[in-house]
Amino acid sequence: MAWDDAAWRRIAERGVHAALSGWTDERSIATTERFGAHNYHPLPVNIVRARGALAWDASGREFVDCVGAYSAMAHGHLAEALVREAKAQLERATLVSRAFYTPEMALFLEALAEYSGLDMVCPMNTGAEAVETCLKLARKWAYTVKGVPEDQAEIVVCENNFHGRTTTIVGFSTEQRYRRFFGPYGPGFRTIPFGDAEALEAAIGPCTAAFLAEPIQAEAGVIVPPPGYLARVREICTRHRVLLIWDEVQTGFCRTGRRFGWSHEDARPDLMAVGKALGGGLLPVSAAVGVRGAMEVFEPGDHGSTFGGNPLACAVAVAAMAVMEAEDYAGRAERSGAFLREAFERAGGCAVREIRGRGLLLGVEFAPELSPDRLQEAFLAEGLLTKETRSRTFRFAPPIATEQPVLERIAERFEAAVRRAAGSV
């Protein structure tokens, strides 16, 4: 495209979609590859429109979206109630910064604290920011409340964790491809195996501020810890006066069939990071949520974000939680997840080695005889959007709002794709 004065003016006057008129899928992909940093390896699918659990490319091909924006798309694309809320807020105010108060942020803070069963909220935008906020809170709590000598605080984390992409967070990742070449990294983290409560007990020392973990390790291949682990961890943290931080960015807001991943057991955290589905699929909205004793350590100037808590995001997030509650998203995720799990088991036969997950967060691990590349091609050929996480495991996290006929379409396409990848069609 020639970016001369006339081109800028045309867009300013007629809008972006006039400029995009006639763009093919190939043109979008080629332009992205030329001008975008290559920090992702997307599937060769160019989505121009999406609604509910369905998405279409420029040629009009329909796909069922089981990536669900990595679990962020709980309400489905362009959920009517949320779009209505966003439009109403666009008539009022969108961004004023934290230099001021807004009624929308006030309502959001109260609603999220209530929804979480916790006391206070620090609004952010992305999941990684929410995790960073929890880490800062935990360290300051350790120095100012627990009495850990300054700069000695330690946070216990798990092997194969995924908490985002900031330099602090990748610094305690155990995955080489996330951390290599981005060091040097700071000290202050100790790594233990996931799902092993004894290892946590052994790792805790006098300077331990917190234990940070995901209730289900989604990016690691949908790894569910053994029954009792969440409650055990809670009990150990309480006994040693260590803050328990759950990263609920992916598992939160009904994805696993309960409000939060920790809600399956008696494992209420001191701090938790939430994000993704909180934005209703429209906007990035995240937060650190916690008990008063931990949240209160923040003073003015300790932390912040220009966009965190903006009234547009807050209005959408309150509506997103209201829809989840009013339409029983927890129950729906549980029922839809059970339906898909059974359908995948039946259709996959011996091609499927294991199905892991909870609610509508499912990881299907295929047998080693099936090549992941062929499976990926077959899923796309059948119009099913899913992506490999790790170790031949494909994640299925369609919108929680997905209706039964579309769930049935997912099951049919899954079966056809497995047959295609196995070479029997």
Ligand X SMILES: Cc1ncc(COP(=O)(O)O)c(C=O)c1O
* Residues that bind ligand X in the complex, under the rule CB under 6 A: 70, 126-128, 131, 162-164, 214, 218-219, 247, 249-250, 275
Catalytic residue among 162, 172, 189, 307: 162
Q: 52: which 2 tokens? A: 């509910």
Catalytic residue among 65, 196, 247, 270: 247
Is there a catalytic annotation at residue 196? no
Is there a catalytic annotation at residue 162? yes
Cβ 148 to ligand X, closest distance in Å? 25
CB-nearer residue toward ligand X: 337 or 383: 337
Catalytic residue among 108, 276, 379, 396: 276
CB-nearer residue toward ligand X: 148 or 362: 362
CB-nearer residue toward ligand X: 249 or 287: 249
CA distance 255 to 159: 23
Is there a catalytic annotation at residue 136? no
Cβ 165 to ligand X, closest distance in Å? 7
Cβ 305 to ligand X, closest distance in Å? 13
Cβ 126 to ligand X, closest distance in Å? 4
With contact defined as beta carbons under 8 Å apart, do 73 and 39 qualify? no
What is the DSSP-derived secondary structure letter of residue 100?
A: S
Give the residue closest to ligand X by C-beta. Answer: 127
**Bridge-based pairing state of the strands 154-158 and 352-358:** unpaired
Q: State the burial class of residue 257 (Cβ atoms within 10 Å of its Cβ: 0-12, 13-18, 19+).
A: buried
The set of long-range contacts for 233-241, using a CB threshold of 8 Å and a minimum separation of 24, is 233/197, 233/200, 233/267, 234/265, 234/266, 234/267, 234/268, 234/269, 236/197, 236/200, 236/201, 236/204, 236/211, 237/200, 237/210, 237/211, 237/270, 240/201, 240/204, 240/208, 241/146
Beta partners for 208? Answer: 154
CB-nearer residue toward ligand X: 104 or 214: 214
CA 247 from chain centre, in angstroms, equals 9
CB-nearer residue toward ligand X: 128 or 407: 128
Cβ 390 to ligand X, closest distance in Å? 13
Which residues form the catalytic set? 162, 247, 276
